[in-house]
């Protein structure tokens, strides 16, 4: 069955979300609608809709005009099993002691490494993206430095790979939360698949807004691999939920966005412990003042 995509961009999150809601009322109805920030500092947001029947081009043109968006770019997507394709093409990721792999590479698991099985799924964070890799490398450096964190949270956990990595090297269960119920379900499946039941507690939550997170604070380490905007918005909550001397490992931001994020956290009493740029992406380890 062919799939059709309709993609456009416009300025502002509110406008993008309003357009996305309008797309859901189209006939034929889209099978999925997504809203994503274009992470290039332009302020643009991408809105995409996917159809199993050819979309109404006139209706899409009218929606774009009414909402101040660029004309929709329409495409017919080839019939490809994208998950199978990604599985074939993704090679294992090595980040210090951590070895992240898919089931198709199970024969490459190395003894003496912290091996984490993560399949290509709809949730973000297979370990291959520069942001996830940067967070794993930051975590690895903290372990090498002798840190034994007792209380850890992964905010915006996606597949749960960072929470599982932390739970594999430190003694106590790790909280993994995400705003997306699908991501939480994927994380729970990955936790079970890696034999970490009881070691990672998966929750649906917006930021730190959950009674179990509040009860567990303050944290020694908080991992947050999300986006620049939410990272800046979370800075005050991060300061409230991290213990004095604790660390925040942050990514999901471009190299060009790092200074803005750093400034937000310096204002909350953090200092930069390490920064690593991997291509266009940046990972930060920040330490809260005592």
Mean model confidence pLDDT for the chain? 89
- Between residues 173 and 228, which one has the greater pLDDT? 173
How far is Cα 136 from Cα 161, in angstroms, rounded to an integer? Answer: 9
For 230-256, the pLDDT digits (tens) are: 999 999 999 999 999 999 999 988 899
Within 10 angstroms of residue 13's Cβ, the number of other Cβ atoms is: 13
- Up-side HSE of residue 260: CA atoms within 13 Å toward CB? 14
Indicate if 123-288 has the same CATH topology as 3-77: no
- Give the span between the Cα atoms of 161 and 194, in whole angstroms: 10
Q: Under a CB-based contact definition with an 8 Å cutoff, are residues 165 and 137 in contact?
A: no
178 and 187 Cβ atoms separated by less than 8 Å: yes
CB atoms within 10 A of CB 56: 15
Residue 237 exposed, middle or buried by CB count within 10 Å (0-12, 13-18, 19+): middle
DSSP three-state, residue 212: helix
On the 0-12 / 13-18 / 19+ scale of CB atoms within 10 A, 169 is middle
CATH class of the domain at 123-288: alpha beta
Q: How far is CA 73 from CA 8, 14, 23, 61, 218, in A?
A: 6, 21, 14, 10, 47
Query: Percentage of residues in the chain with pLDDT exceeding 90?
Result: 66
Radius of gyration of the chain (CA): 20
Please report the pLDDT score of residue 77 as a whole number: 73
In 3D, which of 134, 136, 214 has the Cα closest to residue 175?
A: 214
pLDDT digits (tens, 9 = 90+) for 178-236: 988 888 998 999 999 999 999 999 999 999 999 999 999 999 999 999 888 899 999 99
What's the mean pLDDT in 76-101?
Answer: 70
| Contact status, residue 187 vs residue 157, Cβ threshold 8 Å | yes
C-alpha torsion sign, points 207, 213, 216, 222: negative
pLDDT band at residue 128 under the 50/70/90 scheme: very low
Q: Indicate whether 150 pLDDT > 50.
A: yes
d(CA 207, CA 287): 19
The per-residue pLDDT for 111 is 85
Provide the 10 A C-beta neighbour count for residue 105: 15
CATH topology of domain 3-77: Alpha-Beta Plaits (3.30.70)
Q: What pLDDT sits at residue 88?
A: 54
Q: Where are the domains of the chain?
A: 3-77, 123-288
Nearest to 27 by CA among 2, 51, 61, 1: 51
Answer left, alpha or beta for residue 125, where phi above 0 means left and psi between -120 and 50 means alpha.
Answer: left
């Amino acid at each position: 069955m062919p799939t059709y995509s309709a993609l456009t961009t416009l300025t502002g999150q509110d406008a993008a979300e309003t357009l996305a809601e309008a797309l859901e009322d189209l006939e034929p109805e889209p099978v999925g609608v997504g809203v994503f920030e274009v992470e290039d500092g332009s302020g643009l947001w991408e809105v995409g809709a996917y159809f199993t029947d050819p979309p109404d081009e006139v209706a899409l043109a009218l929606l774009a005009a009414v909402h101040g968006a660029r004309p929709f770019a329409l495409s017919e997507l080839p019939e490809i099993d994208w998950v199978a394709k990604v599985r074939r093409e993704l090679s294992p990721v090595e980040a210090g002691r951590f070895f992240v792999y898919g089931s198709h590479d199970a024969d490459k698991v190395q003894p003496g490494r912290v091996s984490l099985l993560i399949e290509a799924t709809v949730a973000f964070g297979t370990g291959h993206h520069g942001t996830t890799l940067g967070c794993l490398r930051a975590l690895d450096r903290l372990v090498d430095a002798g840190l034994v964190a007792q209380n850890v949270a992964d905010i915006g956990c996606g597949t749960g790979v960072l929470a599982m990595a932390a739970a594999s090297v430190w003694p106590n269960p790790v909280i993994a939360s995400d705003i997306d119920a699908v991501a939480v379900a994927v994380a729970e499946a990955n936790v079970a698949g890696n034999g970490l039941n009881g070691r990672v507690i998966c929750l649906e939550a917006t930021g730190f807004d959950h009674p179990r997170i509040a009860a567990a604070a303050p944290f020694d380490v908080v991992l947050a691999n999300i986006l620049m905007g939410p990272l800046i918005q979370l800075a005050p909550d991060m300061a409230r939920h991290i213990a004095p001397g604790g660390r925040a490992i942050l990514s999901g931001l471009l190299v060009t966005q790092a200074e803005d994020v750093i400034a937000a956290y310096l204002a909350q009493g953090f200092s930069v412990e390490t920064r690593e740029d991997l291509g266009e992406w940046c990972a930060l380890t920040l330490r809260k003042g005592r």
